[in-house]
Structure 1
Amino acid sequence: MVAYLAVAVAVVRLPFLALPLSPDEGGYLLVASQWDPGASTYGAYFVDRPPVLIGLFGLADELGGTIPLRLLALVAVAGSVLLAGRLGGWPAAATAAVFLSTPLFDAMQVDGELLAVPFVLGGLALLVRSLRTTSPQSAYAGSAAAGALAACAVLVKQNLLDVFVVAAILLATLAVRGRWRDAVRRTGAFAAGTLVAVGFALLVSATRGTGPAALWDAMVTFRAQAAEVIHTSANSATPDRLHTLVVVLLVSGAPVVALVALGGLRRPETGPDLRWAALALIAWELVGAALGGSYWLHYLLALVPGLVLLTAASRPTRPLRWGLVLAGASTTVALVGFTLSPPSPGADQAVSAYLRSHSIAGDTVVVAFGHPNVVHDSGLGSPYEQLWSLPVRVRDPRLREFARVIGGADAPRWVVVSGGSLATWGVDSTAAQVVLDRHYRQVTSDGDWHVFERR
C-alpha cells in the first residue's frame, strides 16, 4: 500500500509541472544560476536561506529550470511517502501523502520546507532503525547517517531541527534507563555524521565565495533582525495571514489526525518509545512556524514530519483511519479546486514579458520590492542585491543602497514598482522616490505593477 501511495502522490503532481514560477521559486533559481564569488552572500544577491537549498535549485537550473524543479519536488514527495512508510507503516505513509499533496499548504510550490521533508523523514527512519538493531556497528553507522541527514535538513531550511529534537529525546531516554555508555557512543556517532555533512556543505559553499560568517549572517542573524522588524513595523497583512494560516490548518484536517493519533499513543513492546519524541517534535514544529513571522501557507509543510511520527507512535485505530479519510477528503477537494482553477499568468508575468520584448543585451532591472521571479522570468540581471522585500526592510530600510543603485553610473535601464510609489511598510522611501522621479519615466503598467525606463 505504501508504494501505491508514493505513486499516487507522484501522479497528482504531473498536471502541475508547468505552472508559472512563484516569487520564491523564480528568486531561488535566479540566485542559484549565478552563485559564484561576488559582492553579496550568494554571488550578487542576498537571500536568508541555507546553501543546500540553493544547491538544489542550482541543480534544477542546470537541468532546464521550471519543469526539472517540479520533478525534483515530485521525487522529494514520493520519497517522503516511502520513508514515512518505513518509519510507521501505511498510516504514517498516508499522513505524508495527504499533507504533502494538499494545495492548502501550498504543496505545489517548491520551497524549502517541501525539499527538507525527505531529509527529516530519512533521518528519523535511520535513527529509529539504529535504536532497534542489536548490532553495534549497524547502530553507530545508522546514528551517524541520521546525524548527516539531520544536518542536511537544516541546510535546506534552517528551522527544521526536527531530527535533532527527536535524537535528543531518544538518546536521553537511553541514558535515563541506565544505558548511558551506549547513549554516549550513539551521540558521538550522530554528532560525527552531523559534522561531516556540515563541513562538506561549508567547503563547497566556500569554493563558491560564501563563507561561514556570511551563512551565519543570512541564516541566523538576519532572521532575528527580521523578526524584530516584523514585530515593530508590519502592516495588517501579517496578522491577516496568521488568521488564514490557522483557518487553513483547521480545514486541512491536520488537527483531527493529531488528536486521534494522540488518543492511540502506545508504548511498543520492542524498540524505542516514540511517544514523548513525537510530542516534542510537534511542539517544536509549531514554535518554528510561529517564529517564521510572515505566516506563509507553506510553513505548514514543516508540520508533516511531526504528524508522521505521531501516527507512527500510535495504534492504527478506527478513529485514526477516519481522521486520515477526513484529511484525505479535504486534500481531494483542494486538489479538484486547484485543478479547475490553477494559478494563471498574472500581472508580474505580463511585466516580465514586456521586459523581455523591449530589452537589449546588457540591460538590467530592479524590482521594488520583492517578486524576484520578475527578474528571473525577464532574463535580465539586477544590480540591487536585495531581491526579496523583507531583506530590503531589514538591511536597507532608508533605501540608501537602492537610491545609490538607481541613481549611479551603472543604473538599471528598468525599474519595476509594485504600487503607485516606493512607499511601503518598514521603509523610508522619501529620498529614493526623488531619485526615481528624477531619472526614470513610466512606460507601461499592468494592475499594480508599474514599469519605469531610465530617461
Structure 2
Amino acid sequence: MRKDVAGVAALAAAALLLRVPSLRSPLSDDEGGFLVVAAQWRPGTSLYGDYWVDRPPLLIAVFELADRLGGAVALRAIGGLAVVAAVLLAARLGRLVAPRARHAPVLAAAVAAIFLSTPLFSAGLVKGELLAVPPVLLGTVALLSGLAAPTPASAARWWLLAGAAGAVAVGLKQSTVDVFLAAVMAAVVLARLGRWRRAGLLLGCVAAAGLAVTAASVAWAASRGTDPVALWHAVVTFRADAAAVISEAAPTVNDGRAAGLVLAFAGSGALGLLVATSRGRRTSEPDAADPPAFRAITLTVVVWELVAVALGGSYWLHYLVATVPGLVLLAAVAARERTRLRLLVGVVAYGAAATVLANVATAVPAGVTSPSAEDEVAVAAYLRESARPGDTGVVAFGSPWILREAGLESPYPLLWSLPVRVLDPGLVRFERLLRSGDRPTWVVVEGESVDSWGLEPAGADRVLGRRYQLEHVVGDWRVYRAGKR
C-alpha cells in the first residue's frame, strides 16, 4: 500500500474514532429539535408539518433518516460517515491541486480530520455545517477536475457534478454557496485567458445542475406540504430579519461569544494555517490549471466562509466547521510550494496536538452529565412519567429535545427562541394559544418567567399564572400543567 494512501486511511479512521465517545452523548438543542421536526414532517399547519424551522429541506431529510434508523445514535453515526467522506475528499483535493507533491493528499486530509474533530469548533455536533462539508469538497474537486479536463465534453461532466454537489450543500446549509462562488471565480480566470467559451460552459453547467437539484428538492418538499414561498422566507429572508433582531436586541453575551469564536479559531491552529499559507509564490500570468487559479478560487472560498461566520450573528462555535473546505484548499495550495512545506507541517502538527488535547479535556465519563443537562433530563423524565395519552407540551423557548424524550408534541410551531423573537416577539400567538382549547397540557419554563431578550412576556406570564398550576421544579426549571380556570 502506498504511504499516502495508508496515511489518509489512518487519518479517516482516527477522525472516526474520536467521534465514538459522542455516540451516546446528550443531544444539543438543534440536534434534538431537528429530530422532532423531521419525525412528523407531513402536510400540516406550518412549514414542516406542524413545526417551523429556518433550515432547508435536505437537512430535515437527513434527520428524518436518522429518526427512522433509531434517533440520536444513528444521527451521530451519519455525522461520522460525513467526516470520513470529507477526509477522503480532502485527500483527493490535495492530489488534484498538488499532483507532484507526494505529501499533499495526507496534509489536506489531516487538515480535514483535525478541524472536523476539534471541540474548539464544536465539531462533534451533527448539524448543517458538518453535513455540508463533504458536498462542498466534492463540488470543489469536480470544479477543479473540469478545469484540467482535456475536452469540453469531459469538462462539462465534471462541472455538472460540481453544480449538483453545490446545490446539495446549500440544501443542507443555506449559506454554503462556496462551490458556486468558486465557479464564478474560475470562470473569471478562464475569461482572462481568453477562453470565453469554456468560461460560459462552466457557468452554464454549474448553474443548470444547481438549479435542477434545487428545483427537485423544493418540489419534493412541496409534495410533503412545505410551501415553496414559505420555504424561501424561512431560509433566506428570515435570516436577514434575525440578523436585525440580534443586532438590535441581543445582550452583551453575544459579544463574548464572538470573542470566544476568534479565540477558538486561533487556538485550534486554523488561524495559524491561514497566516502560514497566505503568502506564496506568484506568477504574472494566470493559468486555469495552475496555482494562480487555485489560489484565486481558494481566496474566494476562504473569504466567503469567514464572512458567513461573521454574518451568522449568534457566533456559536459550530459556525467554524463551515471554514473547513477553505482550510483544506489552503493546505493543498501551500503543499505545492516547498518553501512553505516546513511551516505548513508545523501548523498541522500543532492543530493535531490541539485537537487531541481539546478532546481529552472535554471528555466526559460515561453516564456523567453537567448539572444543567441533568436537570433537563430530569424534566423530560418527569413529563414522560406524568403525561397521559393525548397530552401536548411547550418548552418556552428552546430545548425541544425535552419534548422528544417525553414523547410529547407541541401545539406551538416555534421550537427555538430565535424564531420566537423574530416571528412572535410580543408572544401574542403564544398567549392566544394558552387561552385556546388547543392549549398545551404542559408548559416548561426555565426560570420564573417566559421572559428572554427581545420578548414581551407580561401577557403570556399572566395567562400562565391564571390557567396553569405549578406541578414540579427541577433546578431552574418549572413544569406547569393546565388546570386553572
Q: Which range, TM-score by smaller chain?
A: over 0.9
CA distance in 2: counterparts of 1:265 and 1:127, whole angstroms: 23
Q: Can you list the C-alpha shifts for 1:161-196, whole angstroms capped at 9, x where unaligned?
A: 111111111111001100001111121111111011
Matched residue, 1:275:
295
Aligned residues: 455
Instruction: Work out whether 1:159 is the aligned partner of 2:187.
Output: no
- 1:237 aligns with one of 241, 247, 253: 253
Matched, 1:376 2:404: yes
What CA distance in whole angstroms lies between the structure 1 residues aligned with 2:138 and 2:227?
28
Equivalent residue letter for 2:41: W
Deviations 1:365-387 (A, max 9, x none): 01111111111121110000000
Residue equivalent to 1:107: 123
Shift, 1:13, TM fit: 1.1
Residue 333 (structure 2) pairs with residue 313 (structure 1) = yes
Q: CA deviation at 1:264?
A: 4.2
Give the 3-state SS of the residue equivalent to 1:17 in structure 2: helix
Deviation of the 1:270 alpha carbon = 8.1
2:189/2:287 contact within 8 Å kept: no
CA positional deviation for 1:269 = 8.4
Residue 135 of structure 1 deviates from its aligned partner by 2.8
- C-alpha separation in 1, matches of 2:418 and 2:438: 25
With over 3 angstroms needed to count, the CA separation of the structure-2 counterparts of 1:169 and 1:269, relative to structure 1, is: closer
1:388-445, CA deviations, whole angstroms, 9 ceiling, x for partnerless residues?
Answer: 0000000001101111112211211100001211121101111111100001111112
Aligned equivalents of 2:174 and 2:288: distance in 1? Answer: 33
Following superposition, the deviation at residue 293 of structure 1 comes to: 0.4
Deviations 1:259-307 (A, max 9, x none): 1122346669882421121112111111101111011110010111111
Query: Does residue 69 of the first structure (1) align with residue 85 of the second (2)?
Result: no
Contact 1:266 / 1:314 at 8 angstroms: preserved in 2? no
**Which residue of structure 1 aligns with residue 237 of structure 2?**
221
Residue 37, structure 1, aligned to residue 46, structure 2: no
Which residue in the other structure is 1:296 paired with? 316
Counterpart selection for 2:444 from 410, 416, 435:
416
Does the 8 Å contact 2:193/2:287 carry over to 1? no
Work out the CA distance in 1 between the residues paired with 2:288 and 2:48.
48
- Selected match of 2:33 from 21, 24, 27: 27
- Residue in structure 2 matched with residue 322 of structure 1 by the alignment: 346
Tell whether the 8 Å contact from 1:266 to 1:313 is kept in structure 2 after alignment.
Answer: no
Query: CA RMSD, aligned part only?
Result: 1.5
Q: Which AA in structure 2 matches 1:37?
A: P
Give matches, 1:429-444, under 5 Å.
429-444=457-472
The one-letter code matched in structure 2 to 1:287 is V
Q: Which residue pairs with 1:210 in the alignment?
A: 226
Displacement after TM superposition at 1:31 (Å): 0.3
Query: Matched residues in 2 for 1:320 and 1:266: separation?
Result: 18
Equivalent position of 2:212 in the other structure: 196
SS in 1 for 2:176: coil
Q: Is the 8 A contact 1:13 1:74 kept in 2?
A: yes
The 5 Å alignment of 1:40-119 reads: 40-88=46-94, 89-119=105-135
Counterpart code for 2:33: G
Aligned residue number for residue 363 of structure 2: 339
User: Contact 1:265–1:275 (CA<8 Å) still a contact in 2?
Assistant: no
SS in 2 for 1:274: helix
Which residue does the alignment assign to 2:98? Answer: none
Check the 8 A contact 2:183/2:202 in 1, yes or no. Answer: no
Over 3 Å counting, the alpha-carbon distance change for 1:158 and 1:394 in structure 2 is same
* CA apart distance, 1:15: 2.2
Cα separation, 1, equivalents of 2:433 and 2:288: 64
1:353 matched to 2:391? The reply is no
Structure 2 Cα separation of the partners of residues 322 and 383 of structure 1: 54
Q: Equivalents in 2 of 1:323, 1:232: separation in Å?
A: 39
Q: CA deviation at 1:315?
A: 2.6
Q: Equivalents in 2 of 1:334, 1:265: separation in Å?
A: 34
Contact 1:105 1:301 in 2 (8 A): yes
Unaligned runs of 5+ in 1: none
Q: Identity of counterpart residues, as a percentage?
A: 47
In the alignment, the residues of structure 2 paired with residue 14 and residue 411 of structure 1 have an alpha-carbon distance, to the nearest angstrom, of 41
Aligned to 1:448: 476
Equivalent residue letter for 1:239 = D
The residue number in structure 1 matching 2:270 is 254
TM-score normalised to structure 2 length: 0.91
SS of structure 1 residue aligned to 2:419: helix
User: What secondary structure, in the 3-state scheme, does the structure 1 residue paired with 2:480 have?
Assistant: strand
1:287 lines up with 2:307 in the alignment: yes
Aligned partners of 2:451, 2:10: CA distance in 1, in Å?
A: 51
Shift of 1:349: 1.6
| C-alpha separation in 2, matches of 1:226 and 1:265 | 42
Cα gap change, 1:439 to 1:329, in 2 (>3 Å) = same
For 1:68 and 1:112, the matched residues in 2 are separated by 16
Unaligned runs of 5+ in 2: 1-6, 95-104
Aligned mates of 2:9, 2:154 — CA distance in 1: 26
d(CA) in 1 for partners of 2:304 and 2:17? 32
Following the alignment from structure 1 to structure 2, what is the Cα–Cα distance between the partners of residues 62 and 229?
A: 36
Residue 263 of structure 1 aligns to a residue in which SS? Answer: coil
Cα pair distance change 1:340/1:38, threshold 3 Å: closer
Q: 1:340: Cα distance to partner?
A: 4.2
C-alpha distance in 1 between matches for 2:27 and 2:116: 19
Q: Output the CA distance in 2 between the equivalents of 1:417 and 1:9.
A: 38
Separation of aligned partners in 2, 1:311 and 1:427: 45
> Separation in 1 of the partners of 2:142 and 2:197?
20
